[in-house]
Amino acid sequence: MEEYQELAARVRAFGERVLAPTIAAEFREGRSNAQAIPAMAAEGFLGWSLPPRYGGLGYDYRALAVLCEELGRIDTAHQITVTVHLALVGLAILQWGTEEQRSYWLPRLARGERIATFALTEPGVGSDVGSLIASARRCGDGYVLNGEKAWISLVDEADLFLVFATVDRSRRHHGITAFLVERGTPGLSTTCYRGKLGIRAGSTGSVVLQDVRVGKDALFGHEGEGFAVAMSALGNGLYTVGAGAVGVAQAALDAIVTFLREIDPHGTGPARSQWVQQRVANMVCAVERSRLLIHRAGALKNKGVPNARETGLAKWQATEAAYQACRDALEIRETLGPPPYEPFERLLWNAKGSVIFGGTSQIHTGMQAGHALGYRQERIPRCPAPTAADLASR
Ligand SMILES: Cc1cc2nc3c(=O)[nH]c(=O)nc-3n(C[C@H](O)[C@H](O)[C@H](O)COP(=O)(O)OP(=O)(O)OC[C@H]3O[C@@H](n4cnc5c(N)ncnc54)[C@H](O)[C@@H]3O)c2cc1C
């Protein structure tokens, strides 16, 4: 526990010093901080939970939650860098990659020499992954990829795209296949969205694949195994989204406490009113409940025991709680004074993004009901998820 607190203090100090000073302007102007990813790489954040033998720091899943909570506390855009690059792609390569793929990609990702992203969603296909349209046609001993991916994080920065395409749409989930595709491969192009509501300090956009030829070394996992790859990667991704949401709720709580103490230092004015106190108390509860749920899921991940139910519950509850906490904080702030409403407005829109990314609340609601009713069983994948001991291995 002490070790996690020390890690939190270290990440927080870095975030306050390097990331926080410019975040409000970046969000307002809808641009990324070009120094952020290199600075995070220099701190080892991009290889935080990759094994030391691949150049990572070897921290366990609970430490990964600590990293994402502290980054989310600064801004969700910074947490998403770790979510996408490390949790969705780096850990997936560790779990599903061949030894060649692991030893080539992981040291580069850990050092931040290459930035990775996860390309699953399509313009008409989000929650219903089985309906995926992007195609992979066998050609010689490789494949030709065609299709479009939407809402892809780190779209401007990524060098490596973990792309999901189907070899046979009629086979739905069983046709989905994963590929590692590098930027610069002819036919792959990207466009960044402008004018998003949340995560405005991070790039998000579309990836177009037009007759993109890849060799068989780009195949990631077996042909037809892409759905299992995507779901296990999302298990780690949504865990870090939930952890980031704890940070968002904490930031909203910290900011409203600071504001209330400033306008009412002795607690004799508006901060004493019941409607304010009720909201502040609910925010405290949201932060602590969500953090416990996330760390429970992290403890299961550390041991390598099935955790889809607990991780999904933690993500769903933490992101909804953060969204509510941000609404409460903004409501207090707006009621008690004129603009500017930074950071409340920024946190609120970021929190909404987290509710969607990594499975919407409606999808998680259905999954929780499925678990409770016994209709949903967790399948153990061909390649088991790395445990804390695997992450620490030298
Ligand atoms: C900030 C941000 C970053 C993202 N980054 C990435 C990324 O890096 N890579 C990537 O691949 N994707 C990314 N996404 C996409 C994200 O994963 C999808 O937006 C999400 O899965 C939902 O898909 P959708 O937007 O197509 O909505 P849909 O699936 O079309 O859903 C629309 C609405 O219908 C509801 N709904 C859908 N199905 C059901 C059902 N069966 N029962 C009840 N309600 C249902 C949903 O809850 C939602 O409210 C990102 C999204 C955001 C907002």
Instruction: Determine which helix (DSSP H) or strand (DSSP E) holds 267, and give its type and residue range.
Output: none
CA-to-CA distance for 365 and 359, rounded, in angstroms?
10
DSSP assignments along 18-72, one per residue? IIHHHHHHHHHHT---TTHHHHHHHTTGGGTTS-GGGT-----HHHHHHHHHHHH
Which domain CATH number covers 49?
A: 1.10.540.10
Separation of CA 248 and ligand 1 centre (Å): 20
- Residue range 240-253, pLDDT digits in tens: 999 999 999 999 99
Looking at the fold, whether 75 and 156 belong to one and the same domain comes out as: no
DSSP classification of residue 386: P
> What's residue 1's pLDDT?
66
Ligand 1 atom with minimal separation from the 164 CA: 11
Nearest to 286 by CA among 347, 342, 375: 347
Q: Which atom of ligand 1 is nearest to the CA of 117?
A: 8
pLDDT at residue 166 tops 70? yes
Q: Are residues 358 and 247 in the same domain?
A: yes
Whether 155 lines ligand 1, by a CB cut-off of 6 Å, is: no
Q: Which pair of tokens denotes residue 294? A: 């996330």
Please work out whether the CB of residue 349 comes within 6 Å of at least one atom of ligand 1: no
pLDDT of the residue at 379: 86
Nearest residue (CA) to ligand 1, atom 23? 126
Question: Which ligand 1 atom minimizes the distance to the CA of 153?
Answer: 8
Identify residue 87 by its one-letter amino acid code: A
Q: Give yes or no: residues 110 and 150 share one domain.
A: no
The reply to whether 126 and 197 lie within a common domain is: yes
78, 71 Cβ separation under 8 angstroms: yes
- 314 and 262 belong to one structural domain: yes
Residue with CA nearest ligand 1 atom 43:
362
In the chain, how many domains are there? 3
Average pLDDT over residues 132-147: 97
Of 115, 148, 180, the last residue of a domain is 115
CA 122 to ligand 1 centroid distance, Å: 10
Question: For a substitution probing ligand 1, which of 32, 84, 149, 357 has the most ligand atoms within 8 Å of its CB?
Answer: 357
The last residue of a domain, from among 185, 204, 224? 224
Q: What is the pLDDT of residues 363-393, one digit of tens each?
A: 999 999 999 999 998 888 999 999 999 999 9
Residue 308, pLDDT score:
97
Nearest ligand 1 atom to alpha carbon 84: 8
Question: In this structure, what CATH number is given to the domain that contains residue 172?
Answer: 2.40.110.10
Q: Which domain holds residue 212?
A: 118-224
Tell me the Ramachandran region of residue 190: left when phi exceeds 0, alpha when psi lies from -120 to 50, beta otherwise: beta
Structure tokens at 97: 């990659």
| Average confidence (pLDDT) over 169-182 | 97
Q: Calculate the average pLDDT of the chain.
A: 97
Q: Are residues 332 and 201 in the same domain?
A: no
Shared-domain flag, residues 93 and 172: no
Q: Residues 44, 141: one domain?
A: no
**Domain shared by 12 and 97, yes or no:** yes
Looking at the structure, tell me whether residues 109 and 158 fall in a common domain: no
> Cα(128) to centroid of ligand 1, in Å?
9
| The amino acid at 205 | G
Domain boundary (89, 115, 141) is at 115
- Provide the pLDDT confidence category of residue 394 given band limits of 50, 70 and 90: confident
Distance of CA 307 to the CA centre of its chain: 17
Give the separation between CA 325 and CA 143, rounded to whole angstroms. 47
3-state secondary structure of 177: strand
The reply to whether 180 and 256 lie within a common domain is: no
pLDDT in tens, 97-133: 999 999 999 999 999 999 999 999 999 999 999 999 9
Domain identity same for 83 and 136: no
